[in-house]
Amino acid sequence: MRQPELESWLVGTLDDFKLCQSESLELRELLPKLAQDDIAFVRNKAFVLAREPARAGGDNAVASLLWLEKISKVIDNFRQTQSVTITEAHFSPGEDCRRQLLDLVVAARETLDISVFTISDDRLSDAIVAAHKRGIQVRLITDNDKAHDQGSDIFKLIDRGINVRMDNTENHMHHKFAIVDKRILVNGSFNWTRSATDYNQENILVTNEPKLVAAYLGEFDSLWDEFDR
């Protein structure tokens, strides 16, 4: 999103002199995709936009300052989470990769975007369903051929209400990554299967590096749109 679009978005949220919950969530989802200069632009432009009604006085003055306070709080919270760098490597066989994935799914607070070739590990599938039940927005992309494999949990997940889209081409959707709350990326060779935990030489990398998270989130969103056919 370019700076004129960011300004237009800010102006739209200020129309009713309050930042509603959906607008706050939209801003939190937008921030990981922005460069630091654009984040600074959002904050500075918010101050500029709030200044005029604040000077005019009246009820709108207080409301505009509360709007500005909420905008600033969302940005400050985002910067605080980004200030601690996460970079971890995990390997299998053994519980290391699966345990880390389970911990991240359980820790999700708002969104869980998963793009994985195959899922047949019930512990991971059950954790995804539990996240969905507690209100996490779950999106899952997988390969159409692997969904029909014996032991696949994909149709069980669909039956539990998980929003699933599948590769609809003759090729394979071979990714194995997930993004938690739009800010933590898990990527590697590890399929979400029992074999990957018990027998295979596999790996995952966990990071909150903003550029990498933004790149994978962009790929996920692109595939999500592509497979909606």
Catalytic site positions: 174, 176, 181
How many helices (DSSP H) and strands (DSSP E) are in the chain? 9, 7
Q: What is the DSSP letter of 182?
A: T
Cis preceding linkage at 4, omega within 30:
no
Rounded to whole angstroms, the Cα distance separating 152 from 164 reads 13
Residue 32 half-sphere exposure toward CB, CA atoms < 13 A:
25
Radius of gyration of the chain measured on its C-alpha atoms: 20
First to last CA, the chain: 25
